[in-house]
């Protein structure tokens, strides 16, 4: 299956989002539209690596926009109602201790609450940042998925543990025939499922030479009286373990 390009997938939705939001949009509106689009994108992806990435971006973007929505920048102070304040000061004069607080409260009532400030975002910059986030996460996921899997600890290799257990059981029961039978099963399993061929020395085979086997000192391939002491192991014709040849007793 071809790997999904998440930045490109978001780019297909970006123009539609920009058209709906305009060049600038309120934080609440931008958050609503963007989260809806990312939720839809998460449902549309069909690859294991893609959905968690989309959900992560959606969560981060939603949190950032929500924090912006809750931010209330200080509004500029309203112009003072100087005529009313002047009359208050004329009536109160120099306020005695404790009266200054009353004057401040009256002043706040006259001024009224500051007008609400609408927080807006630049839509193009917002959508560009989301696309960049997808690009960065996509690269990280690509690197992680390309890393080779680490070796399985031997005690977690079920086949190996089963083999050791069977051989040890045969030893405890003093049944060499059981051990031999188990080894024959292993040889067939290696060939069928792992692609490992077990090769015994054959004096009539021209390729059974020093590349496949170690020979006794002074002996050459084809000499009479030679037999297999250890088999050679091959994968796709490549020697992964040389065998050993010995003289007949």
Q: Are residues 177 and 228 in the same domain?
A: no
pLDDT computed for residue 43 by the predictor: 80
Walk across the sheet containing 213-214 and list its strands. 213-214, 243-247, 226-230
* Count of the separate structural domains present in the chain: 3
Q: What is the DSSP letter of 206?
A: T
- For 194-244, what is each residue's pLDDT tens digit? 899 999 999 888 888 888 999 998 888 888 899 999 999 999 889 999 999
Q: Which of 164, 186, 208 is the last residue of a domain?
A: 186
- For 90-101, what is each residue's pLDDT tens digit? 555 555 555 555
Q: Which of 137, 167, 186 is the last residue of a domain?
A: 186
Q: Are residues 66 and 141 in the same domain?
A: yes
61 contacts 77 by C-beta, under 8 angstroms = no
Q: Are residues 130 and 67 in the same domain?
A: yes
- For 48-70, what is each residue's pLDDT tens digit? 667 777 777 778 777 777 766 66
Domain that holds residue 174: 152-186
Q: Are residues 205 and 248 in the same domain?
A: yes
Residue 110 scores a pLDDT above 80: no
Q: Are residues 138 and 215 in the same domain?
A: no
Q: Are residues 139 and 156 in the same domain?
A: no
In a domain, 19, yes or no: yes
pTM: 0.41
Confidence of residue 79 (pLDDT cuts 50, 70, 90): low
Quickly list H helices, 47-98: 50-70, 82-92
In a domain, 88, yes or no: no
In a domain, 203, yes or no: yes
DSSP run (H or E) holding 83:
helix 82-92
Q: Are residues 141 and 159 in the same domain?
A: no
pLDDT computed for residue 42 by the predictor: 80
Q: What is the DSSP letter of 235?
A: E
In a domain, 79, yes or no: no
In a domain, 223, yes or no: yes
Closest to 50 in 3D by CA, of 1, 5, 14, 2: 5
Q: Are residues 206 and 125 in the same domain?
A: no
């Amino acid at each position: 299956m071809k790997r999904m390009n998440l930045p490109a997938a978001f780019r297909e939705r970006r123009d539609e989002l920009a058209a709906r939001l305009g060049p600038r949009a309120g934080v609440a509106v931008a958050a609503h539209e963007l989260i809806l689009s990312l939720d839809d994108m998460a449902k549309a992806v069909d690859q294991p690596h893609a959905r968690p990435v989309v959900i992560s971006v959606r969560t981060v973007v939603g949190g950032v926009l929500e924090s912006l929505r809750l931010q209330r920048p200080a509004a500029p102070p309203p112009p003072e109602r100087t005529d009313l304040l002047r009359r208050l000061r004329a009536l109160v004069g120099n306020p005695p201790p404790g009266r200054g607080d009353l004057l401040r409260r009256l002043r706040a009532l006259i001024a009224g609450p500051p007008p609400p400030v609408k927080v807006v975002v630049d839509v193009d910059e917002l959508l560009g940042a989301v696309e960049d986030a997808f690009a960065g996460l996509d690269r990280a996921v690509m690197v992680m998925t390309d890393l080779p899997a680490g070796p399985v600890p031997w005690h977690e290799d079920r086949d190996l543990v089963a083999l050791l257990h069977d051989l040890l059981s045969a030893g405890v029961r003093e049944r060499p025939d059981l051990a031999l039978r188990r080894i024959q099963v292993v040889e067939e399993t290696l060939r069928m499922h792992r692609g490992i061929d077990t090769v015994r020395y054959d004096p009539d085979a021209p390729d059974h030479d020093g590349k496949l086997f170690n020979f006794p000192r002074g002996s050459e391939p084809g000499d009479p009286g030679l037999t297999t002491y250890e088999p050679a192991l091959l994968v796709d014709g490549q020697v992964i373990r040389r065998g050993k040849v010995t003289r007949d007793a």
